[in-house]
Structure 1
Amino acid sequence: MKLPKQHTKFLLFLTLFMLLPNLAAAEFRSVAVQKAIVYDSPSAQGKKLYLLGQGYPVEVIVNLSDWIKVRDQQGGLSWIDAKQLSSKRFLLIIPQVAEIKQTPDSGGVVLGRVEKDVVLELLEAPKNGWVKVMHHDG
């Protein structure tokens, strides 16, 4: 979904973040490369499980410096080369559709809608159940 260029920064209410206080202590990273291979063990000789696209958010479970054990959004555990991850935060849309709002309130103007599994960059920390995000198209 492409939004008008003047809306390069926008706000999105994500119902999936009702549990944000519980997630605040967790460490998250995102895929830094176009496609990252995840493995069943902390080695390039391990079994290749699947690919994750750029920006895909993961939770850090174990950090061994060169290899990081992560949990994906479906709850699966796997290993990824640490060089393929970034500390830049992204969010994955979980509901079928989420509304993009101009302001952080339920009465805010709807700028657009984002479908399930779209990745958005987190621009500001959550405040009162709202997060400021940006789509890669601006």
Structure 2
Amino acid sequence: MGIGGAARLGMALAMAGGVFLAVLDLTGSTPPAAAGEVVIPVAANEANATGSGLTVPRFVSLKSDKVNVRRGPSTDQAIVWVFSRAGLPVEVIAEFENWRRVRDSEGADGWVYHSLLSGRRTVLISPWSKGQESQVSIPLHETSSAGSDVVAQLRPGVIGDVVRCDGKWCKLSVGNYTGYVQQDRLWGVYRDEKVE
């Protein structure tokens, strides 16, 4: 199961010098199938006219541990699942007034009220590797070089705060650790995107 899957407990570990960093993953139930979903087509230019005026698509993060995801952009619409992981990166793919249609790392999408989202940039470490029998750890390097010392080993699904990205490497803060991860191993930043 992944980020948008049924309620579950996942443990992500980072290790450096015998010290373990644990991140607890408690998420809500699986979103429904596309049948019956309310779809409000909003082109990027229309979204900017009726929404925030910011670029669509873009990455943001969840502001709280409980974020209701609705079938459509209204409190009258059914809650289809609940995110329960503050800081989780999501992609805004459409806007309608004060509502944002967001997509998670598994491709599930729904509508969230704007005040439940933050402009703080976060990333998931290699979420596509989560659940594999032999989960590969992703090295957190001291500098933006594969040859540099490894500060910590990060498990898939760990959330990191983005300090900056140069299009190839991102400097992240993960717990008490700071270092660099290759950008193509992260979900929450676009390929070749620069973040200051």
Q: What is the aligned partner in structure 1 of residue 74 from structure 2? A: 43
Output the CA distance in 1 between the equivalents of 2:68 and 2:161.
Answer: 21
Unaligned runs of 5+ in 1: 5-24
Is the partner of 2:110 in helix, strand or coil? strand
Q: CA deviation at 1:134?
A: 0.6
Give the direction of change, closer, same or farther, for the CA distance of 1:69–1:26 in structure 2 (3 Å limit): closer
Q: What's the TM-score, normalizing by structure 1?
A: 0.75
Give the direction of change, closer, same or farther, for the CA distance of 1:136–1:41 in structure 2 (3 Å limit): farther
- 1:123 and 2:155 aligned: no
Per-residue displacement from partner, 1:8-44 (whole Å, max 9, x unpaired)? xxxxxxxxxxxxxxxxx84111001122111111122
Higher relative contact order (CA 8 A, sep 6+): 1
Letter in 2 for 1:33: S
Output the CA distance in 2 between the equivalents of 1:38 and 1:131.
Answer: 29
- Deviating runs (4+, > 4 A) in structure 1? 1-4
Q: CA deviation at 1:2?
A: 6.4
Structure showing greater radius of gyration is 2
What is the number of equivalent residue pairs in this alignment? 117
Superposition RMSD in Å: 2.0
Q: CA deviation at 1:50?
A: 2.1
Per-residue displacement from partner, 1:60-104 (whole Å, max 9, x unpaired)? 111123210011111111111111000110001124421111111
Asked if the contact 2:162–2:171 (Cα under 8 Å) also holds between the matched residues in 1, the reply is: yes
Letter in 1 for 2:76: Q
Q: What's the TM-score, normalizing by structure 2?
A: 0.54
Output the CA distance in 1 between the equivalents of 2:77 and 2:122.
Answer: 27
Asked if the contact 1:3–1:137 (Cα under 8 Å) also holds between the matched residues in 2, the reply is: no
Q: What is the aligned partner in structure 1 of residue 132 from structure 2? A: none
Output the CA distance in 1 between the equivalents of 2:97 and 2:176.
Answer: 33
Output the CA distance in 2 between the equivalents of 1:81 and 1:100.
Answer: 34
Is the partner of 1:34 in helix, strand or coil? coil
1:7-22 to structure 2, matched below 5 A, reads: none
Q: What is the aligned partner in structure 2 of residue 105 from structure 1? A: 145
